[in-house]
Structure 1
Amino acid sequence: MSKNNQSKKVALVTGASSGIGQATAELLASAGYTVYGTSRRGGCAGGRAYEMLTLDVTSDASVADAVAQLMQREERIDLLVNNAGFGVAPAGAEESSIEQAQSIFDTNFFGIVRMTRAVLPHMRKQGAGRIINMGSVLGLLPMPYGALYSATKHAIEGYSESLDHELRTRGIRVSVVEPAYTSTPFDANFLQPDAQLDAYREARVAVGRRVQEVMATADQPRVVAEVVLKAANEASPRLRYTAGRLAGRLAWLRRFAPAGVMDAGIRKDLRLDAASAVRS
Structure 2
Amino acid sequence: MTGVAEISSSGPRPLPGTGRTAVVTGASSGIGAATAARLAAEGFDVVVGARRLDRLTALAERIGARALPLDLTDPASVEAFAAALDRVDVLVNNAGGAFDAAPVAEADLDSWARTYEVNVLGTVRLTKALLPKLVASGAGDLLFMGSTAGLVSYEGGASYTAAKHAVHTLAETLRLELYDQPVRVVEIAPGMVKTEEFTLNRVGDRERAESVYRGVRRPLVAEDVADCVAWALTRPHHVNVDLLVVRPRAQAAQHKVHRESD
- TM-score class, shorter-chain normalisation, is 0.7 to 0.9
Contact 1:223–1:244 (CA under 8 A) maintained in structure 2: no
Corresponding residue of 2:153? 142
Query: What displacement does 1:214 show?
Result: 6.2
Corresponding residue of 1:85? 96
The answer to whether the aligner puts 1:70 opposite 2:73 as a matched pair is no
The answer to whether the aligner puts 1:21 opposite 2:32 as a matched pair is yes
Where structure 1 has 5 or more consecutive residues not aligned to the other structure, the ranges are 1-5, 193-204, 252-265, 270-280
Query: What displacement does 1:127 show?
Result: 3.2
What residue identity is the alignment partner of 1:62? S
Q: Aligned-residue CA RMSD in angstroms?
A: 2.5
Corresponding residue of 1:48? 63
* Distance in 1 of aligned mates of 2:215 and 2:226: 20
Contact 1:181–1:214 (CA under 8 A) maintained in structure 2: no
Deviations 1:215-238 (A, max 9, x none): 774211110001111111222122
Corresponding residue of 1:190? 202
Corresponding residue of 2:240? 237
What residue identity is the alignment partner of 2:36? A
Q: Tell me the TM-score normalised to structure 2 length.
A: 0.80
Contact 1:90–1:208 (CA under 8 A) maintained in structure 2: no
Contact 2:219–2:248 (CA under 8 A) maintained in structure 1: no
Correspondence 1:204-243 to 2 at 5 A: 211-213=212-214, 217-235=218-236, 236-243=239-246
Contact 2:138–2:182 (CA under 8 A) maintained in structure 1: yes
* Match of residue 126, structure 2, among 112, 115, 118: 115
> Would the alpha carbon gap of residues 217 and 7 (structure 1) be closer, same or farther in structure 2, given more than 3 Å must change?
closer
Contact 1:182–1:215 (CA under 8 A) maintained in structure 2: no
> Would the alpha carbon gap of residues 128 and 247 (structure 1) be closer, same or farther in structure 2, given more than 3 Å must change?
farther
Give 3-state SS (helix, strand or coil) of 1:37's partner: strand
Q: Tell me the matched-pair count.
A: 232
Contact 2:147–2:190 (CA under 8 A) maintained in structure 1: yes
> Would the alpha carbon gap of residues 131 and 151 (structure 1) be closer, same or farther in structure 2, given more than 3 Å must change?
same
The answer to whether the aligner puts 1:130 opposite 2:141 as a matched pair is yes
Contact 2:100–2:111 (CA under 8 A) maintained in structure 1: no
The answer to whether the aligner puts 1:178 opposite 2:175 as a matched pair is no
What residue identity is the alignment partner of 1:133? F
Corresponding residue of 2:44? 33
What residue identity is the alignment partner of 2:219? A
* Distance in 2 of aligned mates of 1:248 and 1:187: 17
Deviations 1:176-208 (A, max 9, x none): 10111111121122266xxxxxxxxxxxx9x97
Corresponding residue of 2:168? 157
> Would the alpha carbon gap of residues 215 and 93 (structure 1) be closer, same or farther in structure 2, given more than 3 Å must change?
farther
Contact 1:242–1:248 (CA under 8 A) maintained in structure 2: no
Deviations 1:145-165 (A, max 9, x none): 111101111111111011011
* Distance in 2 of aligned mates of 1:164 and 1:144: 30
Query: What displacement does 1:10 show?
Result: 0.2
Query: What displacement does 1:86 show?
Result: 1.4
What residue identity is the alignment partner of 1:54? P
- Percent identical among aligned pairs is 34
* Distance in 2 of aligned mates of 1:20 and 1:241: 15
Contact 2:22–2:90 (CA under 8 A) maintained in structure 1: yes
